[in-house]
Structure 1
Amino acid sequence: MKIGVLQLNPIVGDLKGNAARILKAANEAAELGADFCLTSEMALTGYPPRDLLLYSGFVGRTWKAAQGLALELKDGPPLLLGAVEQNATGQGKPVFNCALWCEGGEIRQVFRKTLLPTYDVFDEARYFEAAPLGDPEANILRWNGRTIAVTICEDAWNDKDYWEIRAYSRDPLEDAAKSSPDCIVNLSASPLFLGKQQLREDMLGAVAGKYKVPLVYANQTGGNDDLIFDGRSCAFSPGGKLMARAPGFAEAVMIVDVDDTDAGRISNDDFSREAETWHALVLGTRDYAHKSGFSTALVGLSGGIDSAVTAAVAAEALGPENVTCVLMPSPYSSKGSIDDSLALAENLGIRTYTLPIEPIMEQFGNTLAEPFAGREPDTTEENIQSRIRGNLLMALSNKFGALLLTTGNKSELAVGYCTIYGDMSGGFAVISDVDKTGVFALARWYNANVRRGAPGIPEPIITKPPSAELRPDQKDQDSLPDYAVLDSILELHVERHKSKEEIIDAGFDGETVERVLKLVRFAEFKRRQAAPGIKLTPRSFGTGWRMPLACRREL
């Protein structure tokens, strides 16, 4: 039995376009000999559609689109289609997350998702009703003499033997096992965090080995808002061995013969942290821009590592001819930073504008001279510089319809080392889930693996001490702990939920820990107003971060 896995990049809400994409891929799979096809979870709507699901009209149009797609595939292979279904029972939430068995021009069977995740970025219980209890055949497809267990994403992630603890009271695979299935299929929309594919393959392989049946997993690819879906659809033998893997970060049609464990192709992949980060940033930036209607982007170049990496990502994602970099030197900008910025732009083939801000700074000083009389210059004047730059960049963005990419990293966003309405201005925060040490590592990886000997990010940008250059001889470490220490503390606190006491017990200086955690707390209002970014870690400052603003917390 050959299953055509359709690993596609849907646009959320684009029912017509997504249906056309699925139809084309299904026809390609048919030409490759697929007996039936399998999409990712909610492939017809794109995942996650979020509050679109609160509109019954959207859910109704989705069902009509599914019926239309089934009819167009009347003479093709059957299709297990990820979609949504109106809950007609009048009880519970109004929508089911489902897989539709489309055969002979119509929808023949509906399989509903059982386990609805509500952790991190997931909020499925807000929209969906879980599959009802009591029907042992509810997720079983009997077709062509085969018994196939149909699961949807989380339904395959609750094996107590693998996790040693069960997050939900039910395990749909245990129910399905009672029907002695010949195969398990899983329609998934599993967003990336770094290292997740190794976890997926280990877990899914263990499930296949436990039930001694082949398992075929179809994942979505592409970027939707802050989430990156890395694809890497895969299949496992009854012994749990990896049989096949589709490419990462790209659309693909993969044919899996579940009766021939040696017939699959395992796509080459680089699971290093820097490689995954790079591919996710490029895909996320490209999709966010294009799916939002932008073809060009703007980046403010400071001569520092963050803006350099952001510019490199933008050039790769959109093409250097579609990226404009803007230099906005102040009296404190070093000649080296200006020269490094121009060299970077030349290396990447990006055009630049240079807009000196000293005259505007002088005008601000004159205008504020009376109310500021008798007060020494401080961070107020530094922030004015940043806000002047933000205004210039937004003016260019408005005038030319270009997406302004902000350049702040996770370390800065965590502790508030950024200026709201200044360098935080923009529409998309490319590296907001990459800490400072990770940005340096990515720059070196980029030069070695993407540029491969061609001029890339100039070496002085990578080796010089980081500085915002908002006052004479300023260095980041004047205001912050060493980045290696800072990033280690932030990882423990933000991503691993460790308290102050636990971090100190791990060997960090108590005063430094207390200071960092205080900065994190006070910067919450800035993060609430930040541009959306790309989620790379298990805990990012995006959809899954839900801290209160007006509070007195002690963590």
Structure 2
Amino acid sequence: MNFGFVRVAAAVPALKVANCEYNTGEIIKICKEAERQRVQFVVFPELAVTAYSCGDLFLQKSLQDGAIKGLERILTETESLDCVIIIGMPLVVNNRMYNCGVAMKSGKLLGAVPKSFIPNYSEFYERRWFCSGLDKRNETINLLGNSIPFGTDVLFEAENMGGLCFGMEICEDLWVPAPPSSEQAVNGAVLLFNLSASNELVGKHEYRESMINMQSAKCAAAYVYSSSGPHESTTDLVFGGHALISEYGSLLAQSRRFSFEEQLIAGDVDIERLINERLKNSGFTHAATGRSFRKASFDIKELDTDKLLRKTDPHPFVPSNPEARNVRCEEIFSIQTSGLMKRLRHTGLDKCVIGISGGLDSTLALLVIAKAYDSLGLDRRNIHAVTMPGFGTSSNTLGNSLELMRLMEVTTCQIDIREACLKHFEDIGHDAGIYDVTYENVQARERTQILMDKANKLGGLVIGTGDLSELALGWCTYNGDHMSMYAVNTGVPKTLVRYLVQWAADHVFAEETRKVLLSILDTPISPELLPTDEAGEIAQKTEDIVGPYELHDFFLYHMVRYGAAPSKILFLARQAFGGKYGEDIIDKWLKAFLRRFFSQQFKRSCLPDGPKVGSISLSPRGDWRMPSDADARGWLADLEK
């Protein structure tokens, strides 16, 4: 299966100005290399058959005929290839010359699209030779004995791949306020190709890259851009051979500029992801367009590969670049803090109650509360932090809890819940020696009862500590730690919680506080509801029970963010974690994730308020509206398939 991936490429061939025979040979050579690399679509620069910098030679019959002969040769010598080839060349139609992109496959012409916007300023003087194709609609031309669609209203559709559609524009078309590719995207094109000849100026490549990334993001598309290289004439300009592949705002591949060697950059773009984005984006679902488009159809072989030409990030919630990660952490911390500040201002309350376990989540929540109080000018003594040791509390976590509360200068309270839980076991007739779900949840609910009642007594808010990953798995006790009056971590996945605490230790708090935060970071993740081992250490480790959080966060991201099928998630996880987890391990925990995600929706349906901080939220009032009795069997069946 190809899981919706399509392999595209941008080529920068060697060329000789006005030597169509030589240029044609270089194009054919790269096309065959693209086929060897299983490329399905390859785009060449603007006017690649002739070269862009021919000047008044474009008006010469010899060059015009040479371009047509070159096209004929390309068709003949690529007849056995499966990839779609898009080349730039001049075409004379009804005594007017157009700068065109011509698409072909397996020796057959698919159609030609003329350039819409002809630059005629500064170093550009194209109107001397070329006409705009803006008025070219619903036309066909005869090219090498083939009647093909010609105009700016032509899109190209692979009927055998669920309507995979592409459009093309040429150089200047992208630089105008309303690029043709925007309308092409609204009308179904998920692949956008640009044949360009963009000269190099100081800083221009950065602007060009940002513009391509932005257009691919705005259009929820893959944008494949190829520009003429340094073999063009340097009479007055230098061309760098800048080629880029961008998917939904992210750069997948980029050429080396100023290289005199031919280049072919390739990347695998996720068409299913792009379509999912469009299904959710009202700009596509309700878009109105004043133009209609014709679609030239073709068939294409599906991509067959076990290894993608793109990086699959194992930690999609966490930037891999340390500088970017620090910026992200600072912003998330600010969102959490701002959300709590607004709630405190609105309620007029100046007291908060929070349970501190010595784990990552409650630590992050306390740091957020402290920062919010500092920003509001409130006394931290009005933060009432309660640590409630139970049957599974280790001396290490209890010590970290007490030390953290002391250093944060909050009001500290320690309440041992064991006696109350034993009395409750007696009241409901539960054997305290049976370590089942009742044994665990009694403790969680006892702690929540203490926090809620203390908040009522003080006239304050209970601040929740549970994170996004726990909500996805339902790894929380219903009406226990599941409940609060405002939940500051509800939008933060577990893999990111760790980095937020690390960032706070490194950049926000003093050295003494940093030491205890580092100790907390070194503590295994655990609800500490089962008794400790003989050495008094944590015996109950969460990831031994539910699986590695880094896997679950990966599953969550691709399922909720992009609507990916389980079989595709499994394929991507194998790409991302192949060197760390075996296929059977990934498969096991993905099945567990699906079962838990579906069965635990009822907990998410009644979540307390809390801020969304990233692209995913499971709030029933916001991003995620799912019935509590949805059936997971279809998703599990896809995984088995």
Q: TM-score, normalised by structure 1?
A: 0.51
Residue 494 of structure 1, CA deviation: 2.1
1:551 and 1:407 map into 2 onto residues whose CA distance is 27
Residue 271 of structure 1, CA deviation: 7.8
1:404 and 1:159 map into 2 onto residues whose CA distance is 52
Which letter does structure 2 place at the counterpart of 1:283?
S
Q: Which residue of 1 aligns with 2:456?
A: 398
Q: Which residue of 1 aligns with 2:328?
A: 273
1:277 and 1:333 map into 2 onto residues whose CA distance is 30
1:166 is aligned to 2:186: yes
Q: Which residue of 2 aligns with 1:463?
A: 522
1:538 and 1:401 map into 2 onto residues whose CA distance is 34
* Equivalent position SS for 1:458: helix
Q: Which residue of 2 aligns with 1:443?
A: 501
Which letter does structure 2 place at the counterpart of 1:443?
V
Residue 346 of structure 1, CA deviation: 1.6
* Equivalent position SS for 2:546: coil
Deviation track 1:492-540 (CA, whole Å, cap 9, x = no partner) reads 1122221211111211622221111111111100011121211112220
Q: Among 612, 626, 629, which residue is 1:550 paired with?
A: 629
2:471 and 2:544 map into 1 onto residues whose CA distance is 17
Residue 395 of structure 1, CA deviation: 0.1
Give RMSD over aligned pairs: 3.1
Shift in alpha-carbon separation, 1:205–1:366, aligned structure 2, 3 A: closer
Q: Which residue of 1 aligns with 2:405?
A: 345
Q: Among 584, 595, 612, which residue is 1:518 paired with?
A: 595
Q: Which residue of 1 aligns with 2:305?
A: none
1:165 and 1:205 map into 2 onto residues whose CA distance is 11
2:448 and 2:217 map into 1 onto residues whose CA distance is 49
1:304 and 1:549 map into 2 onto residues whose CA distance is 29
1:534 and 1:521 map into 2 onto residues whose CA distance is 23
Shift in alpha-carbon separation, 1:549–1:159, aligned structure 2, 3 A: farther
* Equivalent position SS for 2:513: coil
Q: How does 1:158-197 map to 2 (within 5 A)?
A: 161=181, 165-166=185-186
1:539 and 1:455 map into 2 onto residues whose CA distance is 31
Q: Which residue of 1 aligns with 2:120?
A: none
2:178 and 2:401 map into 1 onto residues whose CA distance is 50
Q: Among 341, 344, 354, which residue is 1:286 paired with?
A: 341
1:383 and 1:298 map into 2 onto residues whose CA distance is 21
Residue 301 of structure 1, CA deviation: 0.3
Residue 436 of structure 1, CA deviation: 0.9
Residue 276 of structure 1, CA deviation: 1.4
Shift in alpha-carbon separation, 1:163–1:352, aligned structure 2, 3 A: farther
Shift in alpha-carbon separation, 1:384–1:206, aligned structure 2, 3 A: closer
Q: Which residue of 1 aligns with 2:415?
A: 355
Q: Which residue of 2 aligns with 1:503?
A: 569
Which letter does structure 2 place at the counterpart of 1:535?
K
2:183 and 2:335 map into 1 onto residues whose CA distance is 27
Shift in alpha-carbon separation, 1:349–1:205, aligned structure 2, 3 A: same
Q: Among 547, 553, 559, which residue is 1:487 paired with?
A: 553
Q: How does 1:102-251 map to 2 (within 5 A)?
A: 161=181, 165-166=185-186, 202=214
Aligned residues: 307
Q: Which residue of 2 aligns with 1:317?
A: 372
Contact 1:158 1:167 in 2 (8 A): no
Q: Which residue of 1 aligns with 2:428?
A: 368
* Equivalent position SS for 1:552: coil
**Identical aligned residues as a percent:** 26
Residue 402 of structure 1, CA deviation: 0.9
Shift in alpha-carbon separation, 1:458–1:163, aligned structure 2, 3 A: farther
1:205 and 1:485 map into 2 onto residues whose CA distance is 27
Which letter does structure 1 place at the counterpart of 2:522?
T
Which letter does structure 1 place at the counterpart of 2:553?
D
2:481 and 2:508 map into 1 onto residues whose CA distance is 27
Q: Which residue of 1 aligns with 2:474?
A: 416
Contact 1:302 1:327 in 2 (8 A): yes
Shift in alpha-carbon separation, 1:164–1:474, aligned structure 2, 3 A: farther
Shift in alpha-carbon separation, 1:352–1:510, aligned structure 2, 3 A: same
Contact 1:159 1:166 in 2 (8 A): no
Shift in alpha-carbon separation, 1:489–1:356, aligned structure 2, 3 A: same
Q: Which residue of 1 aligns with 2:489?
A: 431
Deviates most, 308-317 or 505-514: 505-514
1:539 is aligned to 2:606: no
Residue 452 of structure 1, CA deviation: 5.3
Deviation track 1:309-342 (CA, whole Å, cap 9, x = no partner) reads 1000001012323311101111321111111011
Contact 1:306 1:439 in 2 (8 A): yes
Shift in alpha-carbon separation, 1:502–1:398, aligned structure 2, 3 A: same
2:450 and 2:628 map into 1 onto residues whose CA distance is 30
Which letter does structure 1 place at the counterpart of 2:422?
E
Q: Which residue of 2 aligns with 1:229?
A: none
1:404 and 1:434 map into 2 onto residues whose CA distance is 18
2:178 and 2:389 map into 1 onto residues whose CA distance is 55
Contact 1:301 1:341 in 2 (8 A): yes
Contact 1:495 1:540 in 2 (8 A): no
1:158 and 1:344 map into 2 onto residues whose CA distance is 55
Contact 2:382 2:411 in 1 (8 A): no
Residue 274 of structure 1, CA deviation: 1.0
Residue 480 of structure 1, CA deviation: 1.4
Contact 2:501 2:517 in 1 (8 A): no
Please list every run of 5 or more consecutive structure 1 residues that lacks an aligned counterpart in the other structure: 1-156, 169-197, 208-268
* Equivalent position SS for 1:384: helix
Shift in alpha-carbon separation, 1:160–1:379, aligned structure 2, 3 A: farther
Shift in alpha-carbon separation, 1:314–1:375, aligned structure 2, 3 A: closer
* Equivalent position SS for 1:299: strand
Q: Which residue of 1 aligns with 2:445?
A: 387
Residue 429 of structure 1, CA deviation: 1.1
Deviation track 1:316-375 (CA, whole Å, cap 9, x = no partner) reads 012323311101111321111111011111221112111111110111111122xx4699
Contact 1:315 1:322 in 2 (8 A): no
* Equivalent position SS for 2:386: strand
1:165 and 1:496 map into 2 onto residues whose CA distance is 19
Shift in alpha-carbon separation, 1:206–1:497, aligned structure 2, 3 A: closer
Q: Which residue of 1 aligns with 2:395?
A: 335
Which letter does structure 2 place at the counterpart of 1:550?
D
* Equivalent position SS for 2:508: helix
Contact 1:394 1:425 in 2 (8 A): no
Residue 158 of structure 1, CA deviation: 10
Residue 203 of structure 1, CA deviation: 6.9
Which letter does structure 2 place at the counterpart of 1:471?
L
* Equivalent position SS for 1:353: strand
Which letter does structure 1 place at the counterpart of 2:500?
L
Q: TM-score, normalised by structure 2?
A: 0.45
Contact 1:321 1:350 in 2 (8 A): yes
1:484 and 1:527 map into 2 onto residues whose CA distance is 21
Which letter does structure 1 place at the counterpart of 2:454?
L
Shift in alpha-carbon separation, 1:446–1:342, aligned structure 2, 3 A: same
Q: Which residue of 2 aligns with 1:210?
A: none
2:432 and 2:367 map into 1 onto residues whose CA distance is 44
2:327 and 2:184 map into 1 onto residues whose CA distance is 28
- Which structure is larger by alpha-carbon Rg, 1 or 2? 2
1:293 and 1:167 map into 2 onto residues whose CA distance is 51
